[in-house]
Structure 1
C-alpha cells in the first residue's frame, strides 16, 4: 500500500514511448519535460506522510501527550497530562449500615495513612477535565499548544495549562 503512489519516471518514459522513438536524445528530452512531476511527487509524499502522522493522533490522553511531546518537547519529553485523581469513592458510609472495612492488620497500632498530607493529588478546579503540565520554557507557545489541543481533544472537554 505504501508503494501505490510511487513510480520511477525513467522507467515509465521508456515503457510508454514507442519503440521507433526510443533514442537517447528523445528519452532525455521527455525526462526533462516530466522532471516537474518528480518535484510534485516529492511534495505529495511529504504531505502524505504528514497527514498520516496527524491522523495517528486523537483525543486519548496517551496520544495527546505523545503529540505535544513530539511537536513541542521532542528531546526531553516533559509535557504531561494530569486528570483529577479524586474519584469521590467512599470506602465506608455509616448510613449504609455495613461493618467498617479495615485496610490494615489489627495487630498494627496507631493511625494508618494512605497518603502523605503534603502529596498533591492533582485536584483540579471545578469545570476542568484535565490539566497539561509543561516546562516553563514553553510558556511562550501556549496559544499554539492550546489550539493544537482543541483540535484533538473531545468536544466539551475543558483543560488548562500549568507551566512549571
Structure 2
C-alpha cells in the first residue's frame, strides 16, 4: 500500500534520526533520542485516532441511510439488524356538537396513545434487537441524539 504524504503523517523516530548529525549517530544515542521522542509519538498517535473519529462524525448526518449505518457500525457490526422505520403520527378525531353542524358519524375510530398523535408523535422509529437494547441503551440513545436533526423525535422499538 502506498503511504500518502500528508502534513500530519510524521514519523518522529525517523525524524530524530534524520536531524541527528551523522557523526553522532551511534546506537546508544539514537535509542536515547527515540525514547525522548516517545511521548510525542504517543500524543501524535492519539491525535490521529481522534482525527479519524471526527472525520467519521462529520461525514455522517441524520439522513436515514447514514443514521442506520452509524448505528449498525457501532452497535451491531456483524449482523447489521438495526433499521429505521416511519414514525406513527396520526391525525386527531374530534366529536362535534349539533351547533357546529358537522357529521356525527366518525367511521372507524382507533384508540392511540397520547404521544402518537401528529403534534406529539415520533417522526421515526428505530427498530433494534432486544439484546442490544438491554446491553447498551444509553449508547444507542446518545448516538441517535447526536446524529438526528434537532426537531425530530424518535422512538426505540425492540425487534
TM-score by length of 2: 0.68
CA RMSD of aligned residues (A): 2.6
Establish whether residue 82 from structure 1 lines up as the match of residue 89 from structure 2. no
Match among 109, 126, 146 for residue 141 of structure 2: 146
Equivalent in the alignment of 2:112: none
Match among 134, 151, 155 for residue 156 of structure 1: 151
Decide whether aligned partners of structure 1 residues 144 and 28 sit closer, same or farther in structure 2, where only a CA change above 3 A counts.
closer
Partners of 1:2 and 1:57 in 2: how far apart? Answer: 26
Decide whether aligned partners of structure 1 residues 47 and 128 sit closer, same or farther in structure 2, where only a CA change above 3 A counts.
same
1:81 counterpart SS class: strand
Decide whether aligned partners of structure 1 residues 82 and 31 sit closer, same or farther in structure 2, where only a CA change above 3 A counts.
same
Task: Return 5+ residue gaps in structure 1 as ranges.
Answer: 89-123
Decide whether aligned partners of structure 1 residues 85 and 146 sit closer, same or farther in structure 2, where only a CA change above 3 A counts.
closer
Equivalent in the alignment of 2:49: 46
Task: Return 5+ residue gaps in structure 2 as ranges.
Answer: 92-114
1:162 counterpart SS class: strand
Q: Deviations over 1:50-84 (max 9, x none)?
A: 22222222110100011111111111111111114
Partners of 2:140 and 2:10 in 1: how far apart? Answer: 38
User: Residues 23-102 of structure 1: matches in 2 within 5 Å?
Assistant: 23-84=26-87
2:61 counterpart SS class: coil
Equivalent in the alignment of 1:103: none
- Structure whose residues are more often helix by fraction: 2
TM-score by length of 1: 0.67
